[in-house]
Structure 1
Amino acid sequence: MHCKVLKLGDVWRTCNKIRAAIFRMGINLLEYFTRLDPHKNCLISESQFISVIHGQLGATIGLSEQEVAELADYFRVPDGRIYYTQLCDVINDSVPKFSQNDSIVTGLEWEDPLHTNRLSISEERRLNVLITKIASLVNMKKLILRPYFQDYELVSKNCGTVTIAHFARIMAYLGILLSADDFNLLVKKYLKDSYTLNYIAFLKAIDEIIQYLDAHGILDLSGDIMAIFPGRVINAELPKLPRPEIGKIMASRIFGIQNIFHPALEDPKKIEHILTTISMIQEHVLRNRLRVSTFFKHFDLLNSGRITVDQFHRGLDALALNGKQRFFLSLPDVQAIINQYRDPCDPKRVCWKTFEDDIDHIFTTKELEKYPSMEVTTHKRDNEEVPKVGSVNWQSVNKEQRSLCEDAVYKVKQKIIHRRILLKPMFKDFDKHNNGHVSRSQMRQALNSNGILLSDEELFSLEQRFKNDIGFNYVWFLKEVEPKPDDDPLYMDFVEDMKRLNAEPAKRPATRQEKDILQILAKIKGRVVRERIRVLDFMKDFDRCNEQVITRTNFHRALLTCGFELSCNEVETLVDVFASPLRQECVDYRQFADTVEEAFTQSCLERAPLIVPIQHVPTKDCEKNFLNFDERLILSVAMQKLSKKPDLKMNLSSVVADFDKTNCGTVSRTNFMKALTVRGMLNLISNNEFDVICKCFGFERGLRDEVDYRAFMRALDILYATDKYNPF
């Protein structure tokens, strides 16, 4: 019989497997064996040992049958039992205690949370400049960087590190623009574990730089680094900076331009250029009624009156694009304005407040309260044409050239009128940029293609009159040559319609019912009883001084608030009846309220305790229910015929109720006729009698007339009961 040689390495491997399983699951192996050893002699049978290892803990430990057999052979005593305590000691006592051991990597530099890589001297200088710029930007925008990095750390469970891609995304999201070389320099400095960056050290470096700049006075009030010299502070030791604008603001205006920053502009072309540009901007602002501060003040958060050059450029672009017509500013024009209003103490900033004052000079003059003797001239620029750059001053041209141009314009205008020519579509086809200008050759081609033949001298005079540095201004040319229609404006019909709609309606004469105060009060009392309205609550709010009277207008408003739906003539009747005897322009609303309250009770009952008040019973009758003498006779005869068959026999109410789907108590005239036909009651009356019944019990619901069948049934019951108990 072949027997396998037991090896100590196999048993030790099995013990390691048991040790790993029970420490992973938190199992106490000794408890499983002590349950099977009641005598506490540290020995159990082999079958019990196998039942614990292979049975109870088989799924947890995962030993094969061969491993269990080898383990049992190793810990078996001579009598065949298993020494389980020795097994538990081997498994539990041989585990290393890591908490009592010293750290092997203590003192190494990669364990430091603020660890950074070493760079060369030149790279360190570049990095310091870069970190200073980032710190200045962060301080100026009042940014807090740490939460953006901690959000990533909460997800990835890293210890103070983020990936390179996430670091780049955070920088881009915060608006911190870095070049490729600068970003690589940051990665080289703060790289850790070959793929992550130590953001803790990066944030600490930024905080240290901000604290240093703030402590040494290098930052200005806006949070940016001062451009002239560090530590610029106005105190007793350092003199104040020069203020060249003091005393020269009002004295140095040239057509509304403050010339305080450039007192000696020697080049007359530059002076003419800046004056022309400012005049064009003023004309654009005046025509579109724009407020200049709207486009610049959101850049100046501290209201210092100075913004950066890029911000001023963006504000000028927004100003030019606003309004009904866009305004074109070239780069030389923008640069000339920036140079004119550049801050003398900080070349990187522009004084936009001064620019605003110069542009607003077209509307008014600022700080007039400081100069009471100054004469203000009214600017009449609505109809003036601001000369364009490159155009000729037409007033200085000789008379022959001007007369030749006028003759050419007259010829073109006459041909357009007689031939009904439209030149605008032709010019629009050539104007690809939609700026209102075409070239001189395109102008000649447009005129020749429409059969307008002019001499070279006439064409040259037209070019001199309507050209500028952009091209031929065909918009001004068409205003001169195209005939102006004499059509009435389109809004005139609209104005007439609005006048007709808003006009007060003609007052119609009052009818007999509108003058009857009893019918009006009955209508009001019925509405009050049905809807439980307290009239006094709506009227006493208009009596602020508790005078017991209100004006006629307020009385009308109170009635509208109550919702009585009275006509103007009915309101006039109420006003005349309840007018105050001492003040005819007012109404005694207390008397009116007491009169309406008689629908519920009677006043002064304490003086007559035996009187029992009777509540007003509202009726649903209207003018359409009124019956004359002949109709009342016909109605009485018809009701007497129908009352011979009571509801107890005919059961008419159930049939009519089937037609009343909403259970509102009324049905249409057609359904009422069908119900009478089903019960055979329509044959008892004529068509005239049926019409009188429908008129008597009619009820207006919505926009149609219906029949109140419940009132009709009650009338039949009363007539039947009266006729039944009549002794005669």
Structure 2
Amino acid sequence: MPHCRELKLGDVWRTCNKIRAAIFRMGINLFEYFAPLDPHKNCLISESQFISVINGQLRATIGLSEQEVAELADYFRVPDGRIYYTQLCEVIHDSVPEFTDNAPLVTGLEWEDPMHSNRLSISEERRLNVLITKIASLVNMRKLILRPYFQDYELVSKNTGTVTIAHFARILAHLNILLSADDFSLLVKKYLKDSYTLNYIAFLAAIDKVVNYLNEHNILDLSGDIMSIFPGRILNAELPKLPRPEIGKISGAKLFGKQNIFHPALNDPKKMEHLLTIMSLIQDHVSRNRLRVCEFFKDFDVLNCGRITVSQFNRGLDALALSGKQRFFLAIPDVEAVVNQYRDPCDPTRVCWKTFEDDVNHVFTTHELEKAPSLVVDPPPKEVRDLPKLGGKNWQTVNPSMRALCEEAVDKVKQKIIHRRILLKPVFRDFDKHNNGHVSRNQMRQALHSNGILLSDEELFALEERFNNDMGFNYFWFLKDVEPKPEEEPLFRGFVKVTRKLNEEPMKKLKNRKERDIIQIMAKLKGKVVRERIRVIDFLKDFDRCNEQVISRTDFKRGLSVCGFDLTENEIDTLCEVFAPPLRQSCVDYHRFSNALEEAFTQIGLERAPLLVPIQHVPTRDCEKNFLDFDERLVVSVALQKLAKKPDLQMNLFEVLQDFDKTNCGTVSQMNFLKALTLRGMDTLISRNEFDVICKCFGFERGMRDEVDYRAFMKALDIIYATEKYNPF
């Protein structure tokens, strides 16, 4: 029939399992319920009788639904419509075990076995075997007898082969058998009994068994320790589950950047400090000479496993120390300290050179910097920057009397330099042929004696103790302490002046008026064109695709920005208005603008006047800072007339100013300008006010400070001297 549900074997089997679980739990026999309904013993009953037993008498016990009962009846129905109940009973009862017919397997005597121990997993059993082997080798090497230590406790407590966990731990600690927390927990888990005692008899039996095995197979050497026949292949209880050399190299102490290259195995502060010094020296050597550490070790590592032998590591470290402009010396104890630190924990005969490379490269950057994009790296680290030079002494640990004598000598040299206005740097530089900032001891004494600075032998020795290293006498540090420092005004004073100028309304109006003045704008552009030799039409003609001789204002602004003129918006608008065609105000006649700028070099239509000689535009460096009013111009004229009484051939002032101009840019600082006038005795001719006005007149802003254009100053003096010389009046 189409409305009948298809019978599935899985559903019937699930129903049988449900019945089987119920009768196994309640102890019910189905034959006792179906046998009274079958008086003829032909193993068949009607369907109504079957349903009445399942849903009537056994409903509360089994709890089958009507659908499950119908599926069960359909499955065990015979062709005449009756139910084969004995087959159902056999399916249910034949799979139920009869525990009453079996003999007992556990009698309780197993717990009383003196050699009883608990079961562990496979991995734990393997760890326990390694641990027992290690303890057995220690016991055999020290010739220890463990049983009396445990029997003493048993005589007091009257136990039978057991001790408490605390006493077991005290015995191991007394015998100097040091175990970690995980190893001790593993022993407790294996030999625990009665929840608070340990079966020490089974523990001692396991150790004796291992000792006998080691002796029988000749695995122990003469000292009683396990022989390393195959280095790196013998199990060690001190190793982790998976040997990883990089574990322990990262700790909370951020010594070199983000990571620490030293694992906590070094507990000796002296060894730690020694290793820190060695690694800092290596990092400083690599940083100064820009060396790549991997280039000295990778040829030894053919398989690229990151590990090489100790001899290969020593050879690579020697090559690293000998590379660069300055050789680096490592003593044998220093090399051994580095080798012991980076030794492979799995194979003591090898060294992890890649870990050494990563730690040394911290002087350049931090490893895996891409994972921390907001981290700011300032290489080299502070420890490397503050590292003292080789051969130098730690000045804080020197004898206090020597330090006091050195301070007195430095102060004496400083006072003589200030009073006599001596320049020591040119003298030291003459001796320093390689320009490395160091001279010899004799050269240092010659430089001081040649300038009339006389010191005693004790004072000279104190200076050498402070400023000497393996390269010689560091005169850079010496001059930094003895040369007079320029007096600098507080920064807030200049800031206040600038703020007041910006807030003044007349200055704003003057600035806006200058931005609208086409003459000043063209003078600014011509000066830029002459100084940098720019051809403006080459930057603007590309925007004129149809060759209309005009371009839009937007393209005109783009072209000027490419030229680098640094014009303001008001200045650009002024240029657009001036050079706009009469019929196309939205465009700019760039040809007329280019011709106007080209007048700085030549003149348009010069072929029509062959006798005309054009004059090139001379750019000026004047700005608002060196603008002088009437009174200041009078002061400058009087001061220049005083300074121009003698020609430069007699005073030789220009050569002194050139010595201060190291970059040959034509300007010097105001302090150096004053020094030059002082050396030639010209500072007494003018007052301080006149000197300030001269610095303002010939001032030039370079970088973030104001300097003096000494070339223009010398030209002015020459012109004034020549004028007065040929003046007939």
Which TM-score applies when normalising by structure 2? 0.30
Which TM-score applies when normalising by structure 1? 0.30
